[in-house]
């Protein structure tokens, strides 16, 4: 596995606030990597450190094998960044803005530009300052996706987009890696339902600390929602298989719901059947939203099981 982006003991403080706290992170080349976490977790700061828009207080961020502190102008032909509320030349019309951007990128993909223009349906003759928030986001995405960056950093890209365009944006992003060069996408978002089918890796930040970074498949595989119902009252087991259960609920005495955080498909179903003989047992994977809520609640109230 090669790394497109890394963070090593990366730290950024703003006065007394530690926005990023000694993060070690590897983003594999070609991955679509979600940076998740509650408000104020440090996601935007992390992206800005990679882009050298902010200096680290300590540690290092790298992209394309180079420290973000020493990125050259030519490197930015390979790196795209779209953020909610980012500075755009508001006096330009959409057409002028796109022509202006096109001139900077030798690898501009005209066919992709055309497809995204049709998709986003932007009024070419209108000045950016007269676009709605969502339309401005579309203009920023059009100007960035069209040069097919090798690294694409997206900070809340779905903000202000209607559900149809969100869906089509996901489809456009899914196409990005299928070219001659693998594209790596890091996406900070709260729109979990939108990114679920897009991403293959997840990192979870909380209060500037990295709590988890792994493939979505591995994260999904080791968490399972289970539901048990029986003829007689049930008690949650404290030893395995119940030892790693969280969010235990007992809507009535003969029913149990929980999330198993150490699910193993080879052993867990058998252990459940042995612990609850004769009971009706169902299990299902968790959605990204459910996983997020589980992680966020775990750090908020660590004693909650």
Ligand X SMILES: Nc1ncnc2c1ncn2[C@@H]1O[C@H](COP(=O)(O)OP(=O)(O)OP(=O)(O)O)[C@@H](O)[C@H]1O
Q: Given the rule CB under 6 A, which residues bind ligand X?
A: 14, 17, 19, 37, 39-45
State the burial class of residue 96 (Cβ atoms within 10 Å of its Cβ: 0-12, 13-18, 19+). Answer: middle
Structural contact between residues 124 and 80, judged by C-beta atoms closer than 8 angstroms: no
The CB-of-188 to ligand X minimum distance in angstroms stands at: 6
Q: What is the chain's alpha carbon radius of gyration, rounded to the nearest angstrom?
A: 23
To ligand X, the closest distance from the beta carbon of 85 in angstroms equals: 10
For the chain, list the strands marked E by DSSP. 3-14, 17-28, 32-36, 58-63, 66-67, 79-83, 151-155, 184-188, 201-206, 209-215, 224-229, 245-249, 255-260, 280-284
Q: Which of 84, 19, 3, 114 is nearest to 58 (CA)?
A: 19
For the beta carbon of residue 298, count every other beta carbon within 10 angstroms: 17
Q: How far is the CB of 134 from ligand X (least distance, A)?
A: 18
Quick one: 85 or 123, whose CB is closer to ligand X? 85
Closer residue to ligand X (CB): 43 or 166: 43
Q: CB of residue 41 vs ligand X: minimum separation in angstroms? A: 4
35 or 128: whose CB is closer to ligand X? Answer: 35
CB closer to ligand X, 15 vs 178: 15
Paired tokens of 296: 């966020």
Smallest distance from ligand X to CB 189, Å = 9
User: Looking at beta carbons only, is 45 or 220 nearer to ligand X?
Assistant: 45
């Amino acid at each position: 596995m090669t790394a497109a982006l890394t963070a090593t003991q990366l730290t950024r403080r703003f006065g007394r606030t530690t926005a990023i706290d000694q993060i070690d992170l590897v983003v594999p080349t070609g991955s679509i990597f979600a940076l998740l976490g509650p408000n104020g977790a440090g996601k935007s700061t992390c992206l800005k450190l990679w882009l050298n828009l902010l200096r680290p207080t300590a540690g290092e961020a790298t992209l394309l094998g180079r420290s973000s502190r020493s990125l050259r102008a030519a490197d930015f032909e390979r790196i795209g960044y779209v953020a909610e509320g980012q500075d755009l030349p508001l006096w330009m019309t959409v057409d002028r803005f796109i022509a202006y951007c096109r001139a900077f990128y030798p690898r501009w993909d005209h066919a992709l530009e055309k497809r995204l223009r049709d998709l986003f349906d932007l009024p070419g003759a209108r000045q950016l300052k007269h676009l709605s928030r969502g339309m401005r986001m579309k203009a920023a995405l059009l100007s960035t996706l069209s040069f097919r960056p090798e690294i694409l950093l997206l900070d809340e890209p779905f903000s202000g987009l209607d559900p149809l365009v969100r869906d089509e944006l996901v489809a456009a992003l899914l196409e990005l890696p299928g070219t001659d060069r693998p594209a790596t996408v890091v996406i900070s978002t709260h729109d979990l339902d939108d990114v679920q089918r897009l991403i293959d890796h997840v990192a979870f930040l909380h209060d500037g600390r990295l709590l988890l970074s792994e493939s979505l498949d591995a994260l999904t595989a080791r968490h399972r929602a289970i539901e048990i119902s029986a003829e007689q009252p049930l008690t949650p087991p404290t030893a395995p298989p119940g030892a790693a259960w969280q969010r235990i609920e007992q809507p009535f005495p003969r029913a149990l719901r929980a999330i198993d955080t150490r699910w193993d498909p080879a052993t867990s179903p058998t252990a459940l059947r042995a612990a609850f003989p004769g009971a009706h047992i169902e299990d299902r994977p968790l959605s990204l939203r459910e996983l997020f809520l589980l992680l966020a609640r775990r750090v908020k109230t660590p004693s909650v099981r």
